[in-house]
Structure 1
Amino acid sequence: MTVNNYGTDLSKQIALFYFAYRSIIEIPEEIVEAYQINRGHHRILFFIGSMPGLNVNELFHALEVSKQALHHPLRELKQRNYVVDMPDEKDKRSKRLFLTENGQQLFDELMAAQQAQFDTVFGQFDPQAKELWSHIMKGFAKDRPGLQYWDSI
């Protein structure tokens, strides 16, 4: 048996993060399952809905995935009429991604579910807790290319 010296506090913090993450994604996963799509589709919908008009290159940078990993789920979202691409007005070779009316409705449903969760939790604390939480999350994510891209727009 190997004994670690990481301490119970670190283990508790990591476990807490894991269980919180599972709670945050649980309801959205149930929603996307009902639409017969998955978490990867949800991530794509989130970024297109949050940054309408981004192109595929920008999307794969934000998601930190390869173009190959993005291709199949993005194509499915287009086929299901959740996402549409339109030519860039300045560069006709480039296409900009937008949610369709159906995509916007699904995006709104997902965001409302998560907004309710966040409101419930943050409502239990003073307003500074939300700001502190954001600082902590940025501390963990500060070197992520996706966050750097998100902050640059």
Structure 2
Amino acid sequence: MIDLNDNVGKYISFTWRNMISYMAKKMEPLHIGAGQYAYLFSLYFKDGQSQQALSDRLLVDKAATVRAIKKLETAGYVERRPDEQDKRSFRIFLTKKGKAIRPQLEAIVKEVQEILLEGMSPKEKAIIKRLLQQMASNIIRANRGSF
């Protein structure tokens, strides 16, 4: 029998919910929700991505991307422009305001990472990252195979 009080999924869920809650509080003055910062980081990596590329990169559905981009656009952090090759698509670009908050967002993410990994040795940090990557890969593969 599976012990529902002591299983991996419970700890991942608990960690995720609390991490997102903490980040949301830290990003509140910037008017950015915890579900939106990843889009900004993706654009910091490569500005001008299509909405579809953002969805694919972040492994989220198109509707979630549209909602996040609308919120970021309303806040003045990004702008949507028609794709020059495909007028039915949009590309997302950072505004000056979006670029300006990068150091603040990076500091918040760094702080959260430090909290999550507090008390762990460098070897333990490497092990947990590797194991979590493997777990993510396993569930993504299983999910794709179930459709």
Q: How does 1:2-151 map to 2 (within 5 A)?
A: 5-7=1-3, 11-85=6-80, 91=85, 93=87, 95-122=90-117, 124-142=119-137, 144=140
Judged with a 3 Å threshold, the aligned counterparts in structure 2 of structure 1 residues 113 and 39 are, in CA distance, closer, same or farther, namely closer
Hey, what's the Cα distance between the residues in 2 that align with 1:85 and 1:108? 23
What TM-score results when the alignment is normalised by the length of structure 1? 0.68
Q: Indicate if the aligned counterparts of 1:27 and 1:113 stay in contact, CA closer than 8 A.
A: no
How far residue 112 of structure 1 moved from its aligned partner, in angstroms, is: 0.9
Number of aligned pairs? 139
What TM-score results when the alignment is normalised by the length of structure 2? 0.70
Hey, what's the Cα distance between the residues in 2 that align with 1:50 and 1:64? 16
Structure 2 unmatched runs, 5+ = 142-147
Q: Indicate if the aligned counterparts of 2:81 and 2:91 stay in contact, CA closer than 8 A.
A: yes
Comparing both chains, which one has the higher relative contact order based on Cα–Cα distances under 8 Å and sequence gaps of 6 or more? Answer: 1
- Range moving further from structure 2, 55-64 or 15-24: 15-24
Deviations 1:6-56 (A, max 9, x none): 036x72433332332233223321133334443332332233234433221
Q: Indicate if the aligned counterparts of 2:72 and 2:78 stay in contact, CA closer than 8 A.
A: yes
Hey, what's the Cα distance between the residues in 2 that align with 1:65 and 1:109? 24
Aligned identity (percent) is 22
